[in-house]
Chains A and B, each alone.
Chain A
Amino acid sequence: MDQSRIRNFSIIAHIDHGKSTLADRILELTHTVAMRDMQHQILDSLDLERERGITIKLNAVQLQYKARDGEIYTLHLIDTPGHVDFTYEVSRSLAACEGAVLVVDAAQGIEAQTLANVYLALDNDLEIIPVINKVDLPSADPQRVIEAIENTIGLQASDAPLISAKNGLNIEDVLEAIIKKVPAPRGDINKPLKALVFDSIFDPYRGIIAYIRIVDGSLKIGDKILYIATGAEYEVVECGIRTPKEVKKNELVAGEVGWVAAGVKSIKDVRVGDTITHVHRPTLEPLQGYRELNSMVFCGLYPTDTSKYNDLRDALDKLNLNDAALKFEAETSVALGFGFRCGFLGLLHMDVVQERIEREYRIPLIATAPSVVYHVYLTDGSMIIVDNPSFLPPVQRIGRIEEPFVKATIMVPNEYVGALMDLCHKKRGIYIDLVVIDDLRRQLIYQIPLAEIVYDFFDRLKSISRGYASFDYEFIGYVESKLVKMDILLNTEVVDALSVIVHRDFAYGRGKIIVEKLKELIPRQQFEIPVQASIGNKVIARSDIKALRKNVLAKCYGGDISRKKKLLEKQKEGKKRMKQVGNVEIPQEAFMAVLSMDE
């Protein structure tokens, strides 16, 4: 294959700015997918992705496009996740490309998270093609958006295609721009094989399938290959491309993007970011892998049904295969039994992993409230790392505690600036800067404890700004804070899974909110249950769940049997999702109650 007619690109966009819709239009236009097979947002193959309108896992598709110059080009579209939590995955897909299409909503303008991804693309030395989408909206203002792109990123955007992905307007302009501006791959087909593994999935019949970008050389069926970092050797059983259907081929060559199956059964042998080469003629320069990202948010995941512990371990292993950012290790809770402490890049990542376990692996879960990682300096001078509040040592042994801070970048329309500054102050934020983006918007920069962001920061930000503010954060370092552990007692027993680390000045207020919330969430049982929040041995808030007096429907005649039985079946199902702690039944939501911040 002639590399000068290959283009490898990603699409970068903020959630809802139309990335998946643009991908759909491109697939249609290049007849990669027949109109009748078109399923809305075809690249998003996880159910979860289509439902949430976000892209989580990478997907790589080969397209054929007959350009205006009369030549036929092979394009590889590599999808990227749009959310801030998935930065790691974005960098994976970007490393497999030479260019990126930056989709910006003509009405909303550029957003904080997009900015982060654009900088990533620039770091990867990618050619960036700005595209203004949704120009047919009444509120569209392409000129203002073009100026903002030029002001904030310093990217030439005056000739950006003005499109409507939804209505298929000017989609060809995007493809033409890709062909003109994105450099062709410059690999050498005659050099030893060098292929980047940018994703992998587990197939129960064929083992682990690696998604790869061939940088140099070629790979064909029967080749003996070596995963350089893991040292694993295998023989290629199948290889091919996706259109997005899987298409088998005999060979993949430099510049191409495709997949390879080599009967790999051990999850440990294939690592995303690794380089594949030939056993007999290996490359001497493996590709630069990916930077391992540190987990920012931790929570405990426990199977509601304790017998599912091993299933949960298998599920986490499998998810880990193409989600290297997921970290987990076994832990035990007095209240919840055996489970795992899991580390995530952020809250959305945590949500997605939980939902995938429950949906794809059908393991009902109890998740504890997320926690950040604290550095606890003991009086003896040593430092321990605490990612689970119940493991915080007794206060007498603690010298000081440091918590992670992030730099928060918020882009917001002028009219909400005041309200958002208020929010940041309430969240213990430290003001750093206020930058003018254009006539309508400002960029706010704050330093905020990550723990405050883990609480309801994002939801509050969205509700205060009616959805207009966008937000991104990056870790900057550890800062000493006045932190204490707050325990929650149900029926006078400490429930370790409900303990939280809070700022001393906020403990009283938060304790009150938590006990009230628990009172609301825990159904009445046959005895009265005191709910208490305490610091050390001192109770700082209390609320009582009264005993249930009766639980029977007054009326039940012939016509009521069906409905009544369904009602009871529902109650039974509900109980499955409850955890028995001591003699109290606690619904799953209660373990998240410590997050509630209603003021």
Chain B
Amino acid sequence: MSHVEHIYIHIPFCTHICAYCDFVKSRYQPQLADKVVERLIEDINHVDSISIKTLYIGGGTPSALSLNQLELLCQSIAQKWPIIQEWSVEINPEDMTFEKMSLLAKYGVNRLSMGVQATQPRLLEIITRHHSFEDVKKVTAWAHECGINDISYDLMYGLPTQSIEEFEVSMHDVLTLNPTHLSLYALTIEPNTAFGRQKIQPVDNELEGQMYECAIRTLTQAGYEHYEVSSFTKNKHYSKHNLSYWKYANFIGLGPGAASKVNNRRWTNTKNIHHYTLNEKLIQEDIQLSEYDQVIEKLMMGLRLNQIVSWNHINHGSDIRNKVEKALEKTQQQGWVILNEEGLQSTASGRLFLHDIIVTIMQAFDE
């Protein structure tokens, strides 16, 4: 197996379930969480790579785990990989404690991703988040106190009844915390969520577009680099782990529902938490990626970045390059992509219509 330098660990628990979330998760249950942590530790010890560059603990909500569970997990990670360039953990201000924070710092966690979503109590209630912006400030202060200074905040737009002004206020509130990184997500209504079941209608594409453009304006003015469709950073604190996805590096995901990609194979673990703990029917999907799959995925991920995707990275053959160049002739005229000898890159306006660009390329491969 190739050397894998990026590990994702999925914690499928939350203190409560948010109305919009369709990740693999369940209400936190101490005994079940014990078993999941136990299994994760086994999996960690089974990973071939003896050194890795990034590790990301996501969820669900990793901070929903008990102090003891977090300790067992972090201990095993630190033992297996004493040096990790970027070790991120997702946290929810609602279930974070100072003890948990100092524990994370002690074992080497050096980056946090905090779910803020909005700063208005009114909107937080609509999306069923149980924290306030005061909590966010408090947890941020703890992080700095413990020496974790690389903090990314998540904000959402296109929430039911949310106005552009409210979204702007949320951004300005978060900017007062001087974040190194921000991720902005448009709400998507997924069928298997409370919002989906309540048949909440997504906001008008027009308003969503205005909010997105407002975000780009606000954050760029505040000195942030818009380096990926939804990601902004100051002073080049890119999310190294996420960059590995966008650059199509190999990665291994551990935990229920987690996906892995190594060379031309991608597999996804079972979403069933019980099956996962029992090591039963572990793999839900296992795909061999064709050359076409890989080309499309490299472009689908790579063009999200404000960076050149090199021809070399996509494929060595000139056939593929010719096809992509031909397919994107019109797209280039529209000013959505730039093509040159080195490779191709999406423009700011092109990134707004990335789906159309990829579908155009897919159509060319069909012919």
Other than A553-B355, A562-B268, A568-B300, give 8 A-B pairs with Cβ distance below 8 A: A550-B353, A554-B185, A556-B229, A556-B300, A556-B301, A557-B245, A559-B259, A571-B355
Also in contact, A562 and B287, with CB within 8 A (given A552-B229, A554-B188, A575-B359):
yes
Question: In the complex the two chains form, what is the Cα distance from A556 to B188 in whole Å?
Answer: 13
Question: In the complex the two chains form, what is the Cα distance from A554 to B251 in whole Å?
Answer: 21
Give the chain B neighbours of A572 by CB distance below 8 A.
359, 362-363, 366
Candidates A549, A552, A559, A575; contact of B8 at CB < 8 Å = A559
Candidates A550, A553, A554, A562; contact of B205 at CB < 8 Å = A550
Which chain B residues in 113-172 approach chain A with CB under 8 Å? none
Question: In the complex the two chains form, what is the Cα distance from A568 to B363 in whole Å?
Answer: 11
Residue B253 CB within 8 A of the other chain: yes
Candidates B210, B296, B354, B359; contact of A549 at CB < 8 Å = B210
The answer on a CB contact under 8 Å between A558 and B8 is: yes
Can you list, as one digit per residue, whether each of A564-599 has a CB less than 8 Å from chain B (1) or not (0)?
110011011001000000000000000000000000
Interface size on B (CB < 8 Å)?
45
Question: In the complex the two chains form, what is the Cα distance from A526 to B356 in whole Å?
Answer: 10
Residue of A nearest to B229 (CB): A552
Residue A330 CB within 8 A of the other chain: no
Can you list, as one digit per residue, whether each of B221-265 has a CB less than 8 Å from chain A (1) or not (0)?
000000001100000000000101100000101000111110000
Pairs A–B under 8 Å by Cβ, sample size 25: A526-B353, A546-B205, A546-B206, A549-B205, A549-B208, A550-B212, A550-B352, A552-B351, A553-B355, A554-B186, A554-B188, A554-B230, A557-B245, A558-B244, A558-B251, A558-B253, A558-B260, A559-B257, A559-B258, A561-B261, A561-B297, A562-B266, A562-B268, A565-B300, A571-B359
Closest CB in chain B relative to A278 CB, distance in Å: 55
Residue B43 CB within 8 A of the other chain: no
Residue B285 CB within 8 A of the other chain: yes
Residue A524 CB within 8 A of the other chain: yes
Question: In the complex the two chains form, what is the Cα distance from A571 to B257 in whole Å?
Answer: 25
Residue of B nearest to A564 (CB): B300
Give the chain B neighbours of A526 by CB distance below 8 A.
353, 356
Give the chain B neighbours of A551 by CB distance below 8 A.
352-356
Which chain B residues in 313-367 approach chain A with CB under 8 Å? 351-356, 358-359, 362-363, 366
The answer on a CB contact under 8 Å between B209 and A550 is: yes
Closest CB in chain B relative to A404 CB, distance in Å: 43
Residue A555 CB within 8 A of the other chain: yes
Give the chain A neighbours of B175 by CB distance below 8 A.
none
Give the chain B neighbours of A552 by CB distance below 8 A.
229, 304, 351-355
Residue of B nearest to A557 (CB): B245
The answer on a CB contact under 8 Å between B261 and A558 is: yes
Chain A binding site: helix, strand, loop or mixed by DSSP? loop
Residue of A nearest to B304 (CB): A556
The answer on a CB contact under 8 Å between B230 and A575 is: no
Residue B293 CB within 8 A of the other chain: yes
The answer on a CB contact under 8 Å between A554 and B353 is: no
Question: In the complex the two chains form, what is the Cα distance from A551 to B188 in whole Å?
Answer: 12
Give the chain B neighbours of A550 by CB distance below 8 A.
205, 208-209, 212, 352-353
Residue A548 CB within 8 A of the other chain: yes
Question: In the complex the two chains form, what is the Cα distance from A554 to B202 in whole Å?
Answer: 14
Chain B residues close to A by CB (< 8 Å) = 8, 10, 184-186, 188, 205-206, 208-210, 212, 229-230, 242, 244-245, 251, 253, 257-261, 266, 268, 285, 287, 293, 296-297, 300-301, 304, 351-356, 358-359, 362-363, 366
Also in contact, A555 and B356, with CB within 8 A (given A561-B300, A568-B362, A569-B362):
no
Question: In the complex the two chains form, what is the Cα distance from A153 to B287 in whole Å?
Answer: 64
The answer on a CB contact under 8 Å between B301 and A555 is: no
Closest CB in chain B relative to A114 CB, distance in Å: 41
Question: In the complex the two chains form, what is the Cα distance from A559 to B359 in whole Å?
Answer: 20
Question: In the complex the two chains form, what is the Cα distance from A576 to B22 in whole Å?
Answer: 30
Give the chain B neighbours of A556 by CB distance below 8 A.
229, 245, 300-301, 304
Closest CB in chain B relative to A543 CB, distance in Å: 15
The answer on a CB contact under 8 Å between B359 and A524 is: no
Residue of A nearest to B353 (CB): A551
Give the chain A neighbours of B363 by CB distance below 8 A.
572, 575
Also in contact, A553 and B208, with CB within 8 A (given A559-B253, A561-B266):
no
Closest CB in chain B relative to A529 CB, distance in Å: 14
Closest CB in chain B relative to A145 CB, distance in Å: 44
Question: In the complex the two chains form, what is the Cα distance from A551 to B209 in whole Å?
Answer: 9
Question: In the complex the two chains form, what is the Cα distance from A562 to B210 in whole Å?
Answer: 29
Question: In the complex the two chains form, what is the Cα distance from A124 to B354 in whole Å?
Answer: 66
Residue from B244, B253, B287, B352 having most chain A Cβ neighbours under 10 A? B352
Closest CB in chain A relative to B47 CB, distance in Å: 15
Residue from A562, A571, A575 having most chain B Cβ neighbours under 10 A? A562
Residue of A nearest to B186 (CB): A554
Closest CB in chain A relative to B307 CB, distance in Å: 15
Give the chain A neighbours of B185 by CB distance below 8 A.
554-555
The answer on a CB contact under 8 Å between A557 and B242 is: yes
Give the chain B neighbours of A571 by CB distance below 8 A.
355, 359
Question: In the complex the two chains form, what is the Cα distance from A572 to B355 in whole Å?
Answer: 10
The answer on a CB contact under 8 Å between B188 and A558 is: no
Closest CB in chain B relative to A565 CB, distance in Å: 6
Which chain A residues in 251-273 approach chain B with CB under 8 Å? none
Question: In the complex the two chains form, what is the Cα distance from A12 to B10 in whole Å?
Answer: 63
Residue from A556, A558, A559 having most chain B Cβ neighbours under 10 A? A558
The answer on a CB contact under 8 Å between A565 and B353 is: no
Give the chain A neighbours of B258 by CB distance below 8 A.
559
Also in contact, A524 and B304, with CB within 8 A (given A552-B229, A554-B184, A562-B285):
no
Give the chain A neighbours of B186 by CB distance below 8 A.
554
Question: In the complex the two chains form, what is the Cα distance from A572 to B353 in whole Å?
Answer: 14
Residue from B188, B229, B258 having most chain A Cβ neighbours under 10 A? B229
Residue of A nearest to B268 (CB): A562
A-B interface, 5 closest residue pairs, ranked by CB to CB distance from nearest: A549-B209, A552-B354, A550-B352, A554-B185, A559-B259
Closest CB in chain A relative to B244 CB, distance in Å: 8
Residue of A nearest to B334 (CB): A526
The answer on a CB contact under 8 Å between B266 and A549 is: no
The answer on a CB contact under 8 Å between B259 and A568 is: no
Question: In the complex the two chains form, what is the Cα distance from A456 to B301 in whole Å?
Answer: 46
The answer on a CB contact under 8 Å between B362 and A524 is: no
The answer on a CB contact under 8 Å between B293 and A565 is: yes
Candidates A524, A548, A558, A562; contact of B245 at CB < 8 Å = A558
Closest CB in chain B relative to A122 CB, distance in Å: 53
Give the chain A neighbours of B296 by CB distance below 8 A.
565, 568
The answer on a CB contact under 8 Å between B304 and A568 is: no
Give the chain A neighbours of B287 by CB distance below 8 A.
562
Question: In the complex the two chains form, what is the Cα distance from A561 to B261 in whole Å?
Answer: 10
Question: In the complex the two chains form, what is the Cα distance from A132 to B358 in whole Å?
Answer: 60
The answer on a CB contact under 8 Å between B242 and A548 is: no
Give the chain A neighbours of B209 by CB distance below 8 A.
549-550
Closest CB in chain B relative to A552 CB, distance in Å: 4
Closest CB in chain B relative to A545 CB, distance in Å: 11
Can you list, as one digit per residue, whether each of A528-554 has a CB less than 8 Å from chain B (1) or not (0)?
000000000000000000101111111
Give the chain B neighbours of A557 by CB distance below 8 A.
242, 245
Also in contact, A568 and B352, with CB within 8 A (given A554-B184, A559-B258):
no
Closest CB in chain A relative to B305 CB, distance in Å: 11
Question: In the complex the two chains form, what is the Cα distance from A564 to B363 in whole Å?
Answer: 16
Closest CB in chain A relative to B283 CB, distance in Å: 13
Residue of A nearest to B249 (CB): A558
Question: In the complex the two chains form, what is the Cα distance from A556 to B302 in whole Å?
Answer: 11
Give the chain A neighbours of B188 by CB distance below 8 A.
553-555
Closest CB in chain A relative to B248 CB, distance in Å: 9
Can you list, as one digit per residue, whether each of A215-233 has a CB less than 8 Å from chain B (1) or not (0)?
0000000000000000000
Residue of B nearest to A525 (CB): B356
Can you list, as one digit per residue, whether each of A497-528 has a CB less than 8 Å from chain B (1) or not (0)?
00000000000000000000000000010100
Can you list, as one digit per residue, whether each of A12-48 has a CB less than 8 Å from chain B (1) or not (0)?
0000000000000000000000000000000000000
Give the chain A neighbours of B260 by CB distance below 8 A.
558
Give the chain A neighbours of B206 by CB distance below 8 A.
546, 549
Question: In the complex the two chains form, what is the Cα distance from A555 to B155 in whole Å?
Answer: 12
